[in-house]
Chain A
Amino acid sequence: MSANALPRRAETLLWVAQRASAAMLAAFVLVHLATIIYAVRGGLTAPTILGRTHGNLAWLLFYGLFVAAVAVHVPIGLRVIAREWLGWRGRSLDIVALVSALYVVVAGWRAIWGLYA
């Protein structure tokens, strides 16, 4: 193990977090797709969509968790791909993965809040 590598426990817990978030995403994506197909049957305008999402707490919670799961799942996976395909290792990769997680969570939650508030 190189000096810059994360401790084994942290590495293992990241792996667990990625599997757990994948299990959550499997359910979220199914609900998401089913909702889209159901909601757009008659065609939708922007005001109709906003009318449904404004003040809808269930919608806010669902997509809030959805974004959190993506923010956990994607950067861990990209970190593994970068290691295997680009040979990128060490602290710089960990920082980029962390920053991408923060970006996904901030941008995602901001978008959701925009549709909710």
Chain B
Amino acid sequence: MERRPLRVQVWRGGADGALQRFEVPRRESQTVLDVVTWIQRHADPTLSYRFSCRVGMCGSCAMMVNGQPRWTCRTHVARLGGAELTIEPLRNLPIIKDLATDMAPFFDKWAEARGRFVPPPAPRMPTENGFARVEPAGRERRAADAGIECIGCGVCYAACDTVTWNPDYLGPAALNRAWTLVNDGRDGGGAERLAAVAGQGGCLACHTHQSCQELCPKALSPTASIAGLKRAVTLAALRGEV
């Protein structure tokens, strides 16, 4: 294993900050999050960053690594190659300090896209003991399942150029969430949700660059979800429903 220390550049400060250099000892199976943690514990305790589970479940440790957004707890330094590592806060979000971004605009857009289950006034599906019977192999359920494992890490949001160019754009994660609910047979918020994802900042603003599905750490395809929303919104507009 390479024994020379790893040369790391880390973003310090707010939007007008700068990169600071550190040298970090190499370890076996070292992740980018390990590197950041080492810097905070041994080199500079004032370094701010965010993490929680360390096993790829919580979605809180995403950062820009060598210019690409990644979940740092599951990104091995050895697999990135190169002698240098550049770690910056997630793109497209306001920087609070160092590697911590303000995720509020990201999650506000989930709410704007009506990313919450809406109970219908009366059950829309046959129920058994009060529970809806959802056919796991049904077309709608399979479409919802394809996008349901999102951990809300913001990698797709940071990867998306349309988000950079169009501040109104809801972004891949919020639209992916909306698509899973459009395909939830129990949900009662369909019409309102389709209206929310139509219009200038909605699914039609997507240019299908596919950076979201390229970089999603859970290997989801927000691109496919957005394509589904485009079809649904188009049909609704032709029928005069949005």
Interface residues of A (CB under 8 A from B): 1, 5, 8-9, 11-13, 15-16, 80, 83-85
Q: State the interface size on chain B (CB cutoff 8 A).
A: 18
**A83 to B: closest C-beta gap in Å:** 7
The interface residues of chain A lying within 8 Å CB-to-CB of B162 are: 84
Interface SS, A side: helix
Contact of A11 among B165, B200, B230, B236 (CB under 8 A): B200
* CB-nearest residue of chain B to A89: B200
* CB-nearest residue of chain A to B236: A12
The 20 listed contacts between A and B (C-beta, < 8 Å) are A5-B199, A5-B200, A9-B237, A9-B240, A11-B199, A11-B204, A12-B198, A12-B204, A12-B233, A12-B242, A13-B237, A13-B238, A15-B234, A16-B234, A16-B237, A16-B238, A80-B205, A83-B200, A84-B165, A85-B165
Q: How far is the CA of A52 from the CA of B240 in the complex (A)?
A: 46
- The tally of CB-CB contacts under 8 A between chains A and B is 41
* CB-nearest residue of chain A to B202: A8
Q: How far is the CA of A8 from the CA of B241 in the complex (A)?
A: 10
Q: A11-B204, A12-B204 are in contact. Are A1 and B234 (CB under 8 A)?
A: no
Q: A1-B199, A15-B204, A84-B166 are in contact. Are A8 and B242 (CB under 8 A)?
A: yes
**A11 to B: closest C-beta gap in Å:** 5
**B6 to A: closest C-beta gap in Å:** 38
Q: How far is the CA of A117 from the CA of B202 in the complex (A)?
A: 46
**CB of B195 closer than 8 Å to a CB of A:** yes
The interface residues of chain A lying within 8 Å CB-to-CB of B202 are: 8
6 A-B pairs besides A11-B199, A84-B162 with CB distance below 8 A are A1-B199, A8-B199, A8-B202, A11-B200, A12-B199, A12-B236
The interface residues of chain B lying within 8 Å CB-to-CB of A85 are: 165
* CB-nearest residue of chain A to B162: A84
Q: How far is the CA of A12 from the CA of B166 in the complex (A)?
A: 17
* CB-nearest residue of chain B to A16: B234
Q: How far is the CA of A84 from the CA of B63 in the complex (A)?
A: 25
- Interface 1/0s, chain B 23-56, versus A by CB < 8 A? 0000000000000000000000000000000000
**B51 to A: closest C-beta gap in Å:** 34
3 smallest CB-CB distances across A and B, nearest first, come from A12-B237, A84-B165, A8-B198
The interface residues of chain B lying within 8 Å CB-to-CB of A5 are: 199-200
**In the complex the two chains form, is A1's CB within 8 Å of B200's CB?**
yes
Q: How far is the CA of A5 from the CA of B204 in the complex (A)?
A: 15
The interface residues of chain B lying within 8 Å CB-to-CB of A13 are: 237-238
Q: How far is the CA of A12 from the CA of B233 in the complex (A)?
A: 7
**B121 to A: closest C-beta gap in Å:** 24
The interface residues of chain A lying within 8 Å CB-to-CB of B205 are: 80
Q: How far is the CA of A57 from the CA of B202 in the complex (A)?
A: 43
The interface residues of chain B lying within 8 Å CB-to-CB of A15 are: 204, 230, 234
The interface residues of chain A lying within 8 Å CB-to-CB of B199 are: 1, 5, 8, 11-12
* CB-nearest residue of chain A to B239: A9
**In the complex the two chains form, is B242's CB within 8 Å of A9's CB?**
yes
